[in-house]
Amino acid sequence: MRTRVGVGALGLTLLAAALFLVLSTRGQAAGPAQPIAFNHQIHADQYKIDCQYCHADARRSEYAGIPSVSRCMGCHKITAADRPEVQKLAGFFNRNEPIPWVRIFMVPEYVYFPHKAHVRANVKCQTCHGPIEKMAVVEARTGQNLANDLLNLVGLARSSTPLTMGWCVECHTTMNAKEKTKAPLECVTCHH
Ligand code: HEC
Ligand code: HEC
Ligand code: HEC
Ligand code: HEC
Ligand code: HEC
């Protein structure tokens, strides 16, 4: 009887904490502040620029890659050249400096994840990254932290992909069964 009450109280406390976290983070951009306010909504949704026009390494290498300053300037020497954020961009270009973008999606160092194999097997970027073209600021709620743990515990986890081993292996198993792909399940292919 007493343990039951204890568990109930713990559950309520966790629920309250989770609700607080959900409410307190709702509505604000959750992604990190970037050196230039780059907006995927404008580029990928409104102007329909292809993901791989900018992330051009995705189909041929391990990395997807972030476009160089000169690729941006191909348009922005003229387009919106008077906007403050575009002038910041021109500043990096004129100083011949790379833009120090803050990394968002990441797996631990001991994991081998090649984009090439996935893009060639026609897995959509959005399957793993969510609806990037709808994001003014790219965000990913991955990894272990107190907020995510509490949300998971009370079943309120957000829908973004977790990038966990279970997630990788589950997709590999499913696609191998359904689409006859040869996605690896051996430990050493993902861990070297
Ligand atoms: C005009 C160029 C451009 C286009 C088009 C574009 N991106 Fe990006 N993308 C960027 C830049 C610059 C960044 C780094 C700044 C940021 O995170 O917003 C980025 C960041 C990202 C990231 C996060 C990288 C990290 O650090 O983990 C993902 C994922 C991504 N883009 C996917 C996409 C997808 C999917 C599409 C198509 C729907 C797309 N991008 C279209 C330029 C572009
Ligand atoms: C293929 C052409 C193209 C490329 C490449 C491109 N952009 Fe743009 N960008 C646009 C267009 C079109 C707009 C919308 C301009 C407008 O609102 O009139 C825009 C708008 C912007 C704005 C202003 C957004 C705002 O809120 O007003 C910024 C900042 C920007 N781009 C940054 C970048 C960066 C950084 C890169 C490189 C990673 C990049 N762009 C690459 C076409 C491009
Ligand atoms: C099967 C899942 C999956 C697919 C499909 C996928 N990605 Fe990724 N992406 C990841 C993972 C996992 C990482 C983190 C990799 C790491 O830390 O080494 C990542 C990292 C990135 C990054 C940041 C680091 C880098 O590689 O430059 C960008 C940008 C990115 N992805 C863009 C894209 C784009 C654009 C597409 C579609 C053309 C795409 N991704 C398709 C899972 C995926
Ligand atoms: C949405 C489905 C999906 C997810 C999620 C996914 N993969 Fe894959 N993976 C595939 C498919 C499909 C292939 C290609 C199989 C083929 O070529 O027949 C593949 C292939 C691979 C390969 C083999 C590459 C090669 O060169 O042969 C590695 C390594 C890999 N994935 C690692 C990962 C890791 C690590 C993760 C999680 C971070 C992950 N994958 C998540 C579907 C997925
Ligand atoms: C398809 C890719 C893939 C395969 C196959 C795979 N792993 Fe992983 N593994 C991952 C990823 C991604 C992570 C990091 C994310 C996480 O911790 O869930 C990881 C994490 C781990 C960790 C660290 C977990 C932790 O909590 O710190 C261990 C240990 C591990 N894997 C062992 C294995 C063993 C043993 C096998 C074979 C039975 C295996 N893995 C097969 C992708 C894979």
- Shortest-distance atom of ligand 1 to CA 103: 26
Q: Which residues have CB under 6 Å of ligand 4?
A: 107, 111-114, 117-118, 121, 123, 127-128, 163, 167-168, 171-172, 175, 181-184, 189-190
Cα distances (Å, whole numbers) of residue 138 to 50, 65, 105, 113, 170:
16, 15, 10, 20, 25
Alpha-carbon distance of 155 to 35, in angstroms, equals 35
Query: Which atom of ligand 1 is nearest the CA belonging to 72?
Result: 1
Total-model pTM: 0.90
Pick the residue whose CA is nearest to atom 19 on ligand 5.
165
Angle at 75 between CA 30 and CA 88, to 5 degrees: 55
Q: Which atom of ligand 2 is nearest to the CA of 99?
A: 35
Q: Would you write out the chain's pLDDT as a tens digit for each of its 192 residues?
A: 454 555 566 666 655 555 554 444 443 456 788 999 999 999 999 999 999 999 999 999 999 999 999 999 999 999 999 999 999 999 999 999 999 999 999 999 999 999 999 999 999 999 999 899 999 999 876 555 566 566 556 655 554 567 899 999 999 999 999 999 999 999 999 998
- In the chain, what are the domain boundaries? 2-30+110-190
Q: How many CB atoms lie within 10 A of CB 45?
A: 15
Query: How far apart are the C-alpha atoms of 22 and 141, rounded to whole Å?
Result: 12
Q: For ligand 5, is residue 175 a contact (CB within 6 Å)? A: no
